[in-house]
Structure 1
Amino acid sequence: MAERAVNTIRLAQTNETIRILLRDFEENASDWLWETGPAGEIKHVSARFAEVARQPVDAIRGDLLGFMSGQDRTLRVPRDSAGDPFEPLRRRMQARKAFRDMVVPVNTAGERRWWSMTGKPVEDLNGNFLGYRGVGSDVTAMHRSRERIAYLARHDTLTDLANRTEFNAALSRLLAEDIRLGAALLCLDLDQFKAVNDSYGHALGDSVLRAVAHRIRGVIREGDVAARLGGDEFSIVLPSDDEFEATAVAERVIDRVSRPYKFEGVTVEIGVSIGIALSPRDGRTTEELYRNADLALYRAKDSGRGTWRLFDRTMDRHLEDRRGLQRDIKRALRDGQLFVEYQPVIALATRRIVGLEALVRWDHPERGIISPGDFIDIAERVGLVGAVTAYVLAESVSFAATLPPGIAIAVNLSPLHLRDAWLVDQLSAIIEAGGIGAGRIEFEVTESAVLETEGRTLDNLHRLRALGCRIAIDDFGTGYSSLATLRRFPFDRLKIDRSFISNLERSDSDAPIVKAMIDLGQTLGLRVTAEGVETEHHAAILAIYQCDDCQGFLFSPPVRREQIVELFATGHTVTGMAVACDRR
């Protein structure tokens, strides 16, 4: 009896020591102890447990899993194993197996948090199940950090739309799972966004992209997925191959995105062009759909922007034609298939030839004459536009040497070519080799090229002008230049686009615009040339507006070198129009 009493005292002392150690553990650690009875009911709630649960000790009772789910019915009601977050833990406890670091969602004081639970079953000496004992810890911060990392891996950090990886995965799942329903891929590209970046800076450009993403989210429906693929490129996938649905979404996107944006007093206007491909009609793989939607997007931009186009097989044939030209253009340069035509520039007041514009043509052995609009952009893509420009300039310099000294020849410069570091050295060497003054050459650049504020564009233009060459801004009125654009570079000539001249007789709105452009150019000290003059009525109106020069079919279309020589010899153009010519 004495031995039994001693053992009882020692056991009590041991238990007290354990309780002191456990209490010290809970007070100084982030974890807490928990315990349940055989039916899963909570027992012996510690102060630390109550603190983490944000409830009084006497309020923590009942089933452990029920307590952790709180009043959230989505957590409390058991569903299938994929939808019930407590199912893995429930299975372990029902099987009376130990578990370790099982993370489950918990509702505490109305807030969703995450606990990591570790526990093992407890039995008495006879093997009877007494319940569970274990350790819990709050891992909310770590869980949210992991969720954020996972979210960032799937979403664009600027706009919070899906990124390219997530979008491709969603498109692939849709094509694999919903073959019966089909899918529609919309490829979006913002119009005039580069001008916004150049004019206002990248900070405001980022604000525009965020606003565009917000508007796209407001347009798409549940089940649709929108993504920013990079830059100003966006995509939308719809779980349907219904052509009407796809075009209706495209119409809503264009309408919403094209509305003005206001940022701290700055109003920005952009547009969006959309190409649409439908599966399975236009492709059954992501690669096919992207390719065909891109072709449709290219056609939409070519149609004037701010619109949508559905893919059709003629676009595919058009692509094959372009690929054929891409293969042939190297041979054209090598075999002398390119040639130059010249269109006279006429002074309105005297009807005297004051210059020529050089226009390159391609005499394709199979396709016949190809205009520059059909192959210059191809030359840019394959890196040959510099070689084409060098050829045109060499021909022009050679021809200018045979003409009266007062006649200058204008050569067009590609915006892409303008960015090359070796541009000025290459062009100046050609002019010097031709033995003429640099003032006999005028380079024409488009408004979009002038808007290029990064790289070497403006530096190259200044260097060309320092050589003595003249610089003209071409197709004025069709781009996005402004008075500030005209003022920051000393141009010599402003050329009004032919689209304004062609409607001069029929449109009441174009005539004042043309007069305003003439007045603007002359106020800035520029010589103004009107392109596309086709009738005497055109010429008469422009004369009243005191336009300096004009060119167009009224006087002469672009013609070969031999016909220009004949014009200077006879004073008559191919249209029969008599003009004044300086002769040697």
Structure 2
Amino acid sequence: MTESEMFRPAFDGSPIGMVVLGPDGALLDVNGAFARIVGRTVAALRTYRLRDLTHPDDIPRDEELRWQLDSGELPYFQAQTRLIHRSGDAVWTRMTVSPVTSEDGVQRYLAHVEDITEIRRAKDLLERRALYDHLTGLANRTLLLDRLEAALEARRTDAHTVACVFLDVDHFKVVNDSLGHEAGDTLLQEIARRIKGAVRPGDTVARLGGDEFVVILESIPTQEAAEAFLTVLAADIQVPFTVSGHEVVPTVSVGLALAEPEISAESLLRNADTAMYAAKQRGRARVEVFTTELRSHALNKLSIEAELRTAIREGELVVHYQPIVRLDTAEVVAYEALVRWNHPNRGLLLPDEFIEICEEANLVVPLGAFVITEACEFIAAHPEYTGRVFVNVSTRQIGSADLTRVVTAALDATGIDPSRLGLEITESGMLIATQAARSDLDGLTALGIDLIIDDFGTGYSALSSVLLNPVSGIKLAREFTLRLGDRGTGDRISTTVATLTRSLHMSGVIEGVESEAQRSIARQHGWQLGQGFLFGHARPADELDLGGPALMAGTHDGPVPSAG
């Protein structure tokens, strides 16, 4: 038996594709496994050359490797080569090619061919998950930074520059919380599609997570050119879009940063992020360009955040109490608990100076728990006061932060009647659609806690927040109080909301009353309760006159809400 005859059964029966190649790459012999890999018959394949079955992009590399094999530079070579199946699909293979000499002394090649398509697909999927956002298909942070570094490197030989654009969707949390996470995801996918459709072919679009997107504009000639592109992009994004049956007009706050000499990718991205934050601070739906002044402001913000963490830990926060009164007699019927920061160097700071940073740093949850506990301790420490205390609640405290547990713990620690405590929640907080949030609101109501809509009329779905939730009272936003007496929209809204509270058997309070004229008009419109500087600023507990009359909710038509 010749060597060929001995070799034939192993060749034909091998589960791995095997090919004998001539010096010119002709397929002299193939086995059934190889024929199945490329979807052809053994007989038909004997008329092909290997390059006829190889993906065009892989031919130059494979021929170079065979040349190195012929020259003796390599004893064999192995490469991942794409072969073309009869269907036209590319099949990934691992091909190992070795030189062999036939019985007649002619140089040939023996190739072992394994189908690794599924392995490659799994690898590509893992790589894609590592480099791309699963929701939108855009680049993720890792791939973004890689491409940004490449763009900055290419800039060294380019007269143009690189622009980094940081976009944040305005009021995305309202959509996500009120319409649900599925609606939020749909909105993000649509915005991603619109951004992708607006950029040039060579530009990179990425999603960093949440509602943040980044665009790399390579080889951009000037700042003005970048700003012109952003004008078009903003217009594309703002086209109305229907999600879950609601029409939404998306807007974005945009930060633009241009590459400086020797800047790193991380630094350029951070600069664009800083500019975006400034756009949000200055009204949203706008573009801000990064400057060194913005960097200084960002560093100051970080400093305040660090000090806030210390303030919460070291007890620098205090609670003051502002009265809620009957408009006819100015008799105090409740107090609103308002947090202050007793800063060791800057003195007493009002919430406007730190609450926003507190929200962004996710410190509002421990801060909110502190105010609730302080309010309960205030009630327990002053039995001579028989009224209620109301506390503002952030949307971040509802649901995942388990507000019901926090309130229950404060009630248990102080032993006060739950009816003595009320919580003010904004319209967006009332409309949060998650199951955890709904359970929180229902749990608070079951405890006997009254829920009050704070700043009523400033949200986009005010009546829904009343009709769909266990609401006990309404507080009219200060913006409407400022328009009292205009004999127009301001007066009509005030009268309508006062009538609404009575028809729904709720109590209502008008906030921001600062003059006797406003007090008089509010009474004419039907308001019974008010709050504002006319009746007193927020003061520490030891400065309050708690010995006078304080009416409980039952004294009025419904519970007594507070005002901010």
TM-score scaled to structure 1, two decimals? 0.74
| Counterpart in the other structure of 1:576 | none
Residues 424 and 118 (structure 1 numbering): CA distance in 2 closer, same or farther, change over 3 Å? closer
Letter in 2 for 1:42: A
Letter in 1 for 2:343: H
Structure 1 residues 222-244: Cα deviation after superposition (integer angstroms, max 9, x where no partner):
23222222333333333357433
Query: 1:89 aligned to 43, 49, 65, which one?
Result: 65
Which secondary structure state, in structure 1, belongs to the residue aligned with residue 137 of structure 2? coil
Instruction: Choose 53-62 or 384-393, whichever is displaced more.
Output: 53-62
Residues 428 and 377 (structure 1 numbering): CA distance in 2 closer, same or farther, change over 3 Å? farther
| Counterpart in the other structure of 2:20 | 34
Residues 479 and 41 (structure 1 numbering): CA distance in 2 closer, same or farther, change over 3 Å? same
Alpha-carbon distance between aligned partners in 1 of 2:471 and 2:229, rounded to the nearest angstrom = 44
| Counterpart in the other structure of 2:206 | 227
| Counterpart in the other structure of 2:241 | 261
What's the CA shift for 1:475?
A: 1.4
1:168 touches 1:286 (CA, 8 Å); kept in 2? yes
Structure 1 residues 456-478: Cα deviation after superposition (integer angstroms, max 9, x where no partner):
65555556555655432211233
Alpha-carbon distance between aligned partners in 1 of 2:98 and 2:441, rounded to the nearest angstrom = 79
Letter in 2 for 1:450: M
Residues 305 and 398 (structure 1 numbering): CA distance in 2 closer, same or farther, change over 3 Å? farther
Query: 1:523 aligned to 496, 503, 506, which one?
Result: 503
| Counterpart in the other structure of 1:412 | 392
| Counterpart in the other structure of 1:208 | 187
Aligned pairs for 1:314-463 within 5 A: 314-329=293-308, 340-348=319-327, 353-377=332-356, 381-382=362-363, 384-386=366-368, 388-390=370-372, 392-393=374-375, 396-397=378-379, 401=383, 405=386, 407-417=387-397, 419-420=401-402, 422-428=405-411, 432=415, 439-452=419-432, 454=434
| Counterpart in the other structure of 1:157 | 134
Letter in 2 for 1:34: V
Alpha-carbon distance between aligned partners in 2 of 1:115 and 1:329, rounded to the nearest angstrom = 59
| Counterpart in the other structure of 2:556 | none
Letter in 2 for 1:151: R
1:393 touches 1:430 (CA, 8 Å); kept in 2? no
| Counterpart in the other structure of 2:512 | 532
Residues 255 and 477 (structure 1 numbering): CA distance in 2 closer, same or farther, change over 3 Å? farther
Alpha-carbon distance between aligned partners in 1 of 2:100 and 2:44, rounded to the nearest angstrom = 24
Aligned pairs for 1:134-283 within 5 A: 134-179=111-156, 182-239=161-218, 242-262=222-242, 265=245, 267-268=247-248, 270-280=250-260
Alpha-carbon distance between aligned partners in 2 of 1:189 and 1:521, rounded to the nearest angstrom = 37
Alpha-carbon distance between aligned partners in 1 of 2:234 and 2:45, rounded to the nearest angstrom = 56
| Counterpart in the other structure of 1:573 | none
Across the two proteins, how many residue pairs are aligned to each other? 536
What's the CA shift for 1:415?
A: 4.0
What's the CA shift for 1:494?
A: 0.8
| Counterpart in the other structure of 2:285 | 306
Residues 427 and 463 (structure 1 numbering): CA distance in 2 closer, same or farther, change over 3 Å? farther
Alpha-carbon distance between aligned partners in 1 of 2:79 and 2:355, rounded to the nearest angstrom = 64
Which secondary structure state, in structure 2, belongs to the residue aligned with residue 239 of structure 1? strand
Unmatched runs of 5 consecutive residues or more in structure 1: 1-12, 77-83, 570-584
Structure 1 residues 436-492: Cα deviation after superposition (integer angstroms, max 9, x where no partner):
x65454332223433445586555555655565543221123335554543454322
Letter in 1 for 2:473: R
Residues 164 and 333 (structure 1 numbering): CA distance in 2 closer, same or farther, change over 3 Å? closer
Alpha-carbon distance between aligned partners in 2 of 1:368 and 1:238, rounded to the nearest angstrom = 46
1:116 touches 1:138 (CA, 8 Å); kept in 2? yes
| Counterpart in the other structure of 2:561 | none
Residues 139 and 443 (structure 1 numbering): CA distance in 2 closer, same or farther, change over 3 Å? closer
Residues 484 and 85 (structure 1 numbering): CA distance in 2 closer, same or farther, change over 3 Å? farther
Residues 331 and 219 (structure 1 numbering): CA distance in 2 closer, same or farther, change over 3 Å? closer
1:385 touches 1:417 (CA, 8 Å); kept in 2? no
What's the CA shift for 1:47?
A: 8.4
2:312 touches 2:367 (CA, 8 Å); kept in 1? no
Aligned pairs for 1:533-548 within 5 A: 533-534=513-514, 538-539=518-519, 542-548=522-528
Instruction: Choose 532-541 or 468-477, whichever is displaced more.
Output: 532-541
Alpha-carbon distance between aligned partners in 1 of 2:440 and 2:227, rounded to the nearest angstrom = 44
Letter in 1 for 2:508: V
Letter in 2 for 1:442: G
Residues 473 and 176 (structure 1 numbering): CA distance in 2 closer, same or farther, change over 3 Å? same
Letter in 2 for 1:150: E
Aligned pairs for 1:6-17 within 5 A: 14=2, 17=5
Unmatched runs of 5 consecutive residues or more in structure 2: 550-564
TM-score scaled to structure 2, two decimals? 0.76
Alpha-carbon distance between aligned partners in 1 of 2:103 and 2:436, rounded to the nearest angstrom = 87
What's the CA shift for 1:389?
A: 0.7
Alpha-carbon distance between aligned partners in 2 of 1:336 and 1:153, rounded to the nearest angstrom = 43
Alpha-carbon distance between aligned partners in 2 of 1:452 and 1:322, rounded to the nearest angstrom = 29
Which secondary structure state, in structure 1, belongs to the residue aligned with residue 2 of structure 2? helix
Query: 1:112 aligned to 90, 96, 102, which one?
Result: 90
Query: 1:492 aligned to 472, 482, 492, which one?
Result: 472
Alpha-carbon distance between aligned partners in 1 of 2:449 and 2:96, rounded to the nearest angstrom = 82
1:98 touches 1:119 (CA, 8 Å); kept in 2? no
Higher relative contact order (CA 8 A, sep 6+): 2
2:513 touches 2:533 (CA, 8 Å); kept in 1? yes
What's the CA shift for 1:155?
A: 1.6
Residues 552 and 289 (structure 1 numbering): CA distance in 2 closer, same or farther, change over 3 Å? same
Which secondary structure state, in structure 2, belongs to the residue aligned with residue 86 of structure 1? helix
Letter in 2 for 1:306: A
Alpha-carbon distance between aligned partners in 2 of 1:457 and 1:370, rounded to the nearest angstrom = 31
Aligned pairs for 1:2-81 within 5 A: 14=2, 17=5, 21=8, 25-26=11-12, 29=15, 31-37=17-23, 40=24, 42=26, 44=28, 52=38, 54=40, 64-65=50-51, 67-69=52-54
